[in-house]
Chain A
Amino acid sequence: MTVLVFVEHAAGEPDELSLQALAFALDFAGGNGVDAVLIGGADAASDLPVGTAHVAELDGGYAPQAWARAIAQLEPSVLVAAGSERGNEVLAHAAVMTGGALAANCVAAAPGDPAEVTRMRWGGSLLEEARIHGPVKLMTVAPHAVAPATAAGDPAVAPFTPELRDEDLVARVVERVDTSTGGLSLAEAPVVVSGGRGVGSPEGFAPLEELAGMLGGVVGCSRAVTMAGWRSHTDQVGQTGTKISPELYIPCGISGATQHMAGCKGAKKLLAINSDPEAPIMATADYAVIGDVAEIVPAITAELRRVSG
């Protein structure tokens, strides 16, 4: 059994999430061989800790079905990728092409027939123990479930030209539009101050904006807020919003539904501001202030101004 890992890359370097998938695959393989497959990017392959690094020579931008066709041509029996947008998408295509079963967002796995995996449901709020049956097994690895592979290797780099079908290139990226605002992104901000239904109105977010500004952070929100049209969906934290991992997360007037919490599992510390001491968020927060967000947040910004003179 050789385990094949689809490695995504940018600017000559393998992606962090792909290195995590590689670590997962090395562990799953035990003493068996692990190979990598890349679409272009021989540079990124040169010191991967694998036996062979297959490099598909494909021109043009991202084309999920074509990428999957290239990978499927290597006839893997075990195929692993990162649980990234592209990792999940390419492996779903590859599952059809290889006739395999795909378990997305795994956090642990043990080889065998069937293979046993533990995977994320509900954005990580629930885990599922499952079996993968059949001769071809595919897994993606949930982001940040395992540490990345750090050892360097000296793989045989094997370029190949995949045989594509016409239909493989129908869906491909034909244009890339830059949408960066130049500002700090929600996903990367060191401090996030989020508001929920308890903030009461779009105007109620002004004190949260001020606090976020003073802490070098950004404002987020819950789905109750985006559904009410108070803020744009780009601010939503959660299972169907943005996943954040700040040093400090400050949810204000947010109850702590599992789908919201699925988006802030990466936060180091959590300070909840809520009028209800029994709110579910109290079971996940490190610290809490009980009371009305409309009174508490302005008091905090006033105190910050006072101490900074």
Chain B
Amino acid sequence: MDVLVCVKRVPLTGGKMVLTADERGIETRHLGFTVSPHEECGVEEAVRLVEAHGGSVTVVTLGPPEAEEQLRDALAIGADRAILLETDGSDWDPESTAAALADVIAADAPDLVIFGNESADAGGYQVGIRVAHALGRPCVTGLKALAVEDGQLRGEQESGSARDVYRVPLPAVVTVKEGINLPRYPSVPAKLRARRKPVERREPERRDARLELVRLVVPEGRGRQAEVLGEGPSAAPAVVELFQRLGVA
């Protein structure tokens, strides 16, 4: 079976969010980049499915030319082929993103398309569902377990202290969450092989955003440092006093 996974390049922000001068992006000069853990698990899940059932894994991203790095990471995990929908790095709204992705996916006609449940940065909760409608395929979201048998997909979604089970025919679209698997660390030979795998580039058409980003705002912190109760084991009595004051001991 052929599986296609969509991933999005995002900055690794660490302990603090710092904005660019125009307040429309995160200052990334000193940052590394990654994809959402949900999407990383999506790539791992696709590779496992193809290891079990045969077929191929294609990974697609819409982003700046540098997003090739995230495609190479996915190729190192075991994807076979990568497609980069190149942008100038500005923010694309969910509708335009979905339309551009749906165009390539429709041409590729995979059996299964895997998205993250939500992107790490925008958190729009919709690109996967929009693509499913554009392709006219069923969509199941937030999966924590997934299996394919006889052209049917069985997926489990967490719901409080229970799991909801879905069964849908392929081709289908799913969105997954971190925890569905523990992604492998790519080996050095796998990373080297990934460098030689093909990355196709396309230039998608951007539409006017109907969800238009105006400005980013860093929420106010509390503007003060923690009260230090002590250093090392000698702080234990002060900690227990705190527990008693807070009524937890």
A253 to B23 CA separation, bound complex (whole angstroms): 33
Question: Which chain B residues have a beta carbon within 8 Å of chain A's beta carbons?
Answer: 13-17, 26, 36-38, 93-95, 118, 120-126, 129-130, 133, 136, 138-142, 156-159, 161-169, 172, 177-179, 182, 208-219, 221-222, 225-237, 239-240, 242-243, 246-249
By secondary structure, the A interface counts as mixed
In contact, B161 and A131 (Cβ under 8 angstroms): no
Nearest chain A CB to B160's CB is how many angstroms away?
8
Question: Which A residues from 277 to 309 make CB contacts under 8 A with B?
Answer: 277, 279-292, 295-296, 298-300, 302-304, 307-308
SS of B interface (majority): mixed
Inter-subunit contact A302/B236 (CB<8 Å): yes
**Is A151 an interface residue, CB under 8 A from the partner?**
no
A304–B14 Cα gap in the complex (Å)? Answer: 34
| Interface contacts beyond A181-B161, A241-B178: sample of 20 additional A-B pairs, CB < 8 Å, sorted by A | A85-B142, A85-B157, A89-B141, A101-B93, A101-B211, A127-B217, A170-B169, A175-B165, A177-B162, A177-B163, A217-B248, A247-B246, A258-B14, A279-B15, A281-B226, A284-B222, A296-B233, A296-B235, A300-B240, A303-B239
Bin chain A's interface residue count: 35 or more
- 9-residue interface stretch from A40-48, A52-60, A92-100, A197-205: A92-100
In this complex, which of A122, A172, A190 has the most chain B Cβ atoms within 10 angstroms of its Cβ?
A122
- In the complex, whether A12 has a CB less than 8 A from a CB of chain B is no
Q: Please determine whether B17 and A125 come into contact, CB atoms closer than 8 angstroms.
A: yes
B156 touches A122 (CB 8 A): no
Q: Is A126 an interface residue (CB 8 A)?
A: yes
Determine if A180 and B213 form an interchain contact, defined as CB atoms under 8 angstroms apart: no
Task: Specify which chain B residues have a CB less than 8 angstroms from the CB of A85 in the assembled complex.
Answer: 141-142, 157, 159
| B residues less than 8 Å from A181 (CB atoms) | 161
The residue that A172 contacts in the complex, of B136, B141, B166, B225, with Cβ under 8 A, is: B166
A92-B126, A92-B130, A215-B243 known; A256 vs B165 contact (CB < 8 Å): no
Tell whether A123 pairs with B123 under 8 Å between CB atoms, given A133-B212, A240-B36, A286-B226.
yes
A126 adjacent to B248 (CB under 8 Å): no
Also in contact, A255 and B139, with CB within 8 A (given A124-B219, A126-B216, A173-B166): no
